[in-house]
Amino acid sequence: SHFSRRPDTAGKLRVSFEFFPPKTEAMEARLWETVTRLAPLAPDFVSVTYGAGGSTRERTARTVRRILEETTLTPAAHMTCVDASREDVDHVIGEFAALGVRRFVALRGDSSAGVGEAYKPHPGGYSNGAELVGAMRRQGEFDISVAAYPEKHPESADFATDIDMLKRKVDNGATRAITQFFFDNDLYERYVERVRRAGIYIPIVPGIQPVHNFAQVANFASRCGAHVPGWLAERFDGLENEPQIHALVASAVAAEQVIDLIDRGIDEFHFYTMNRADLALAVCHMIGIRPGSSEAKAASAAA
């Protein structure tokens, strides 16, 4: 049972939380409430996304700075290289480093024409995630995470091409991959097996997307190539106007996914929080990560 596994994992599980930079004061207040509630869980790091085409560069930097100044959390700044020259990208890396940022999540980004449109690199820019990792590595000893796709990236012809790009990211200095969200753990496990066979040994940390709003998640999933299993749709069916029941189901679904991954030997999780605390808190509680838990104590002792 899951209980008999508890002693094995106690003190060993690690989590990180992802936020997006707020647009308005109300959204900023909500993010800050979320950060305040999640901080006592002592995540390994918290990451702040970078809007399409670098549109949130200022807001990302402001959010990262506030985390550095007002909390003991370790921020990771997401960066993309879409629609920017090498000089611009190098400059932004330097700005983040000057703020005190030591961790990045390096992404290529998507075409401004929209997700799914053919990607065109900036003529004087870095053309993919691997080149961006290299640019970061040239400026310092950063901890660099990259994206990985258990169902392959929609632009990748096949898994071999996809995993080859991941290999280039690792060769250029990436130390961790975080996956696109997925709901079928078998797909993730098969992907990790393929990655290991390709000689890639960095952690492939599952990106967990708690289903705050099924319609939104299903819509987003279809654009980024993530499969929404029929059984998942079935579980949320009829809950469109039942927000409380929807949240209870979402909590059960996410906890079930994470506990199954723990049973498969996974001990590190990245949560796409959507700047909300409840579902991430509920799942962390279920797996024993709580304020003052051995995980939280080990992490704060290490900090």
List interacting residues with ligand FAD (CB under 6 A): 49-50, 52, 78, 80, 105, 107-110, 128-129, 147, 153, 155-156, 161-162, 165, 178, 180, 207
Transcribe 113-159 into DSSP letters: T-TTSPP---TTS--SHHHHHHHHHHH---EEEEEE-TT--TT-SSH
List residues bridging with 145 in a β-sheet.
105, 176
256 counts as catalytic: no
Computed from CA positions of residues 53, 59, 65, 70, in that sequence, does the dihedral angle turn out positive or negative? negative
Least distance CB 135 / ligand FAD (angstroms):
13
Least distance CB 250 / ligand FAD (angstroms):
20
Q: Where are the beta strands (DSSP E) in the chain?
A: 14-19, 45-48, 75-80, 103-107, 143-148, 176-179, 204-205, 207-208, 268-272
Task: Output 162 or 295, the one with its CB closest to ligand FAD.
Answer: 162
What's the token pair of residue 128?
């993919």
Least distance CB 299 / ligand FAD (angstroms):
21
The secondary structure of residue 303, as a DSSP letter, is -
Catalytic annotation, pick one of 18, 131, 151, 295: 18
Task: Output 9 or 209, the one with its CB closest to ligand FAD.
Answer: 209
Least distance CB 90 / ligand FAD (angstroms):
17
Give catalytic residue positions.
18
